[in-house]
């Protein structure tokens, strides 16, 4: 090729194959001052061979720069997305943190987490105890003989004669609602009694003067064991 001939003729022409040199020597007048002392070079040669080399090289370098930018953007996107999934997966659940969110508030009951409480429920002569945790597992229920035949994990249990228990709440099956003065947390079990599912409702009232106090218990409907609690931890965060 003639192009090969001219690049062999003088190394400066081959040197012009880089975009940097094109930028420096682009324009025939400046190019002529560099080359003419040694090489007789016409305008036709420049336009036919050198100018296309410059244009091609500049275009190629531009594509490489854009490709590099895309790789950087892809890497940044990947890192951002990975960070999001890591943060999401690392986020604790109420089962672990004992922090509950409602539509309008957040309640931090962590100081009451990991503790086992006891409440007497029912009419005189038919009373029984509810052993419960505010959040998470209640391991005290495991000490007794399970009569409901359910899986042995408890948030709460009905205790009879200090020997037998029925599951009344699972730690990961709950609903949370504001009650106007605090928060209600209702745990459901997977055991049936008289065609209904046992449930344990903890109705908290915000009271800055009480750490934790059970104020009353009741069974407002069948299979629902409600325990009303006054606590400073039931105040919205």
Q: From the DSSP assignment, how many helices (H) and strands (E) are in the chain?
A: 7, 12
> How sure is the predictor about 237, in pLDDT bands with cuts at 50, 70 and 90?
very high
What single DSSP character describes residue 51?
A: H
Number of domains in the chain: 2
Final residue before a domain boundary, out of 53, 87, 121: 87
What single DSSP character describes residue 161?
A: T
Same domain, 50 and 10: yes
- Classify residue 154 as left (phi > 0), alpha (psi -120 to 50) or beta: beta
CA–chain centroid gap for 35, Å, is 64
Same domain, 66 and 107: no
Place of tokens 């069948």: 222
Supply 120's token pair.
């007497």
Does residue 11 lie within any of the structural domains? yes
The alpha-carbon radius of gyration of the chain (Å, integer) is: 39
pTM of the model as a whole: 0.62
Same domain, 213 and 124: yes
Same domain, 75 and 130: no
**Could you give the 3-state DSSP secondary structure of residue 214?**
strand
**Could you give the 3-state DSSP secondary structure of residue 227?**
strand
Same domain, 106 and 220: yes
> How sure is the predictor about 124, in pLDDT bands with cuts at 50, 70 and 90?
confident
Does residue 225 lie within any of the structural domains? yes
Range of the domain at 19: 2-87
Same domain, 145 and 83: no
In angstroms, the CA 119 to CA 129 distance is 6
Say if residues 141 and 187 touch (Cβ distance below 8 Å): no
Q: Hey, which bits of the chain come out as E strands?
A: 99-101, 106-108, 117-121, 128-132, 145-146, 156-160, 164-169, 174-178, 182-193, 196-206, 213-218, 224-231
Final residue before a domain boundary, out of 59, 87, 115: 87
Same domain, 160 and 227: yes
For 39-83, the pLDDT digits (tens) are 444 555 556 665 666 555 545 654 655 566 555 444 444 444 444
Same domain, 103 and 21: no
**Could you give the 3-state DSSP secondary structure of residue 117?**
strand
In angstroms, the CA 19 to CA 16 distance is 8
Here the CATH number for the domain that contains residue 169 is 2.70.130.10
> In the predicted model, is pLDDT for residue 4 greater than 60?
no
For 26-45, the pLDDT digits (tens) are 444 444 444 444 444 455 55
Confidence (pLDDT) at 100: 97
Residue 28 or 101, more confident: 101
Does residue 92 lie within any of the structural domains? no
Confidence (pLDDT) at 14: 42
Supply 210's token pair.
């009480």
Confidence (pLDDT) at 168: 94
Final residue before a domain boundary, out of 28, 59, 87: 87
């Amino acid at each position: 090729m003639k192009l090969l001939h001219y690049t062999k003729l003088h190394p400066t022409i081959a040197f012009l194959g880089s975009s940097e040199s094109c930028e420096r020597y682009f324009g025939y007048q400046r190019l002529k001052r560099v080359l003419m002392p040694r090489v007789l070079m016409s305008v036709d040669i420049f336009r036919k061979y050198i100018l296309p080399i410059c244009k091609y090289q500049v275009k190629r370098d531009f594509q490489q720069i854009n490709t590099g930018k895309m790789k950087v953007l892809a890497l940044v996107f990947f890192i951002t997305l990975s960070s999001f999934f890591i943060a999401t997966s690392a986020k604790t659940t109420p089962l672990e943190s004992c922090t509950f969110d409602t539509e309008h508030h957040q309640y931090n009951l962590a100081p009451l987490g990991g503790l086992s409480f006891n409440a007497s429920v029912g009419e005189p002569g038919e009373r029984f105890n509810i052993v419960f945790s505010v959040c998470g597992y209640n391991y005290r229920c495991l000490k007794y003989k399970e009569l409901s035949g359910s899986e042995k994990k408890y948030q709460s249990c009905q205790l009879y004669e200090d020997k037998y228990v029925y599951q009344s709440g699972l730690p990961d099956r709950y609903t949370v609602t504001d009650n106007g003065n605090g928060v209600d947390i209702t745990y459901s079990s997977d055991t049936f009694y008289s065609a209904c599912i046992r449930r344990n409702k903890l109705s908290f009232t915000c009271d800055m003067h009480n750490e934790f106090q059970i104020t009353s218990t009741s069974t407002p409907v069948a299979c629902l064991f409600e325990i009303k609690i006054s606590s400073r931890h039931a105040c919205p965060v």
